Every structure is written in C-alpha cells, then in structure tokens.
Amino acid sequence: MPNAFLTGIRNLRSSFLSGALLLASFYILLVGNGTLTIGLRASAQYLIKFHSSVPLFLAAAFTYITGSLYITALEGAVDWIHHKTVLLSATEARGWLRQVLLSFFCPLSDASRHRLRIEAESFYRKTGANMGTDPSSQTIETFVQGVFADVLWMDGKLTGSPLRDAYNEFRAEGEFRLGIGLLLPLGAAAAGYSAMLGRAEVILVTILAVVISIPTCKYGLYYYRRAHSFLAHHIADGILLTPSMETLKRAAVAKAVVKYDIGCFVNGQSAIYGGNVDKISI
C-alpha cells in the first residue's frame, strides 16, 4: 500500500504541476494582457476572485487532466525515440552531433547494453539448440533486437515483482524532470511578461530558462535510461525474462515434450510412468 500510494503521489505531482504551469503560462500570454502580477498578495487575491466564478475543484480537475494529457504525449514521444535508438550507442556513433544526441536519448547505458547482448545471444544458443533453431548470425541478431525492444515494454511483466517499485520510481522521476524542464522556457516568458518586463528582458529571461532547461531535461532522460538499464541488468543476471525469451523457452519446452512423447509412449501410455504427458514436468 505505501508503495502504491507513493506511485500515485508521483503521478499526481507530475500531472498537476505540468498542467498548472501550462495553463498559467498560456493564460498570461494569451489572455492576461500583462495585467497579472507575481506578488504573493496579488496572486492570492486573484485566486480568491477566480474561485468565486469557477469552483476550485473543477479548476484543479481541469489542471490535472491537462497535465495528464501533456505527460501522456511526452511519454509517447520518449518511447518512440527510445525505440529508434535502443540498439545505438553514443560512444560508437560517428560525428560529435550524433554522439551528443544519442547521449541524451539512448535508453540504455553502454554497460547494460553490452551485458544484455551477451545474455540474449547466449540464451538463444542454449535454448534454441534444444529445438534445432537456425544458429546463424542473422537469426541471432534478429532475436537480440527483439530482446532489446522488449526491455522498453516490460511494465506489465513487473506486476507483483519487487522490481516494479524501483522501476516506477525511476520512470516517475524522469517524466517529472523532463516534463517540467521542457516547460521552463514557456513559464519564464510568461513570468517576464506578467512582470511587465521589456521585450529584451523577456527574451533574456527565456534564454536563461533554456540554459537551465537543457540539463534538467537531460537529467530527466537519465532517469529513463536508469529505469531501462535497471531491467536490462536483471535480465542479464537471469532474474527476469523478456517476452521474446519466454516465447523461445516455451517453444523449446514444447518440442522437448513432443520428443519425450515419441520416445517414451507406447499406445498413448508412458513406458516409464504409466501416466499421461501432462503429469511430467520439464
């Protein structure tokens, strides 16, 4: 219960703060006409006035929904980028720009990527050998690519696992920092406009916010990478299997059962146990 409660609090924090920053910034820039102030007393008076026309519960709900939609879209964009870069390494990339971009967006650390590849290749050779699969390098690479892709979609497999809490914590911290970091320039521009700064001052404040936003977003993406690398290391240790690994393992077990059936059964009965095949564990 405490872990589930903390997960809910983290999700509420990301959605609500993102929604509040989005709505407040757009209102100031598009509707406020620079009449809002950032003073504490003036802000409190404005909230009281706003509450008299719009129930605070509805405003909070709308803020949360707006933030949830923003975080969901952000999660989808990050997952799409990670799917495109999961097999790439920043240290092996050619060109400094490509290295910089991959250092931001690669979903796996170099150490976890190396260990996961070794485990996936070894798993295919050991398990596939029991069912006579093609051991060619091309077939192995296809399986490895499937294992890497699986790492990005392991949420459902972690249900009931002690790994789930740590994974969710890393993901939540990543989405919070990335979500807020991307909105910092917008919030800074709105704050400067609200404070009735000149155009040059607003631009300067926005540029400063961009400078702060870049490492904030990078740190958010680091937490995403930490979450996926966390799972990759546990897969490499044999503690966790990806869907591709489980599918291959079930196919190997099924083929072993068929071989046992042919070798040990006469007229539908086991020559050794005198029972049915479903009573024999493999």
In the three-class reduction of DSSP (H, G, I as helix; E, B as strand; rest coil), residue 33 is classed as coil
Provide the whole-model pTM.
0.78
From 27-41, 127-141, 153-167, 174-188, the region with the lowest mean pLDDT: 27-41
> DSSP secondary structure string, 188-254?
HHHHHHHTT--HHHHHHHHHHHHHHHHHHHHHHHHHHHHHHHHHHHHHHTTS---HHHHHHHHHHHH
Q: Is the pLDDT of residue 217 over 90?
A: yes
Token pair listed for 186: 């917008």
User: How do residues 107-153 score in pLDDT, each as one tens digit?
Assistant: 999 899 999 999 999 999 888 766 665 666 668 888 999 999 999 98
Q: Is the pLDDT of residue 266 over 50?
A: no
User: How do residues 45-87 score in pLDDT, each as one tens digit?
Assistant: 555 565 555 567 777 888 889 999 999 999 999 999 999 988 8
Tell me what the pLDDT averaged over the chain comes to. Answer: 80
Give the length of the chain: 282
Torsion of CA 272, 275, 277, 281, to 10 degrees: -70
Structural contact between residues 202 and 192, judged by C-beta atoms closer than 8 angstroms? yes
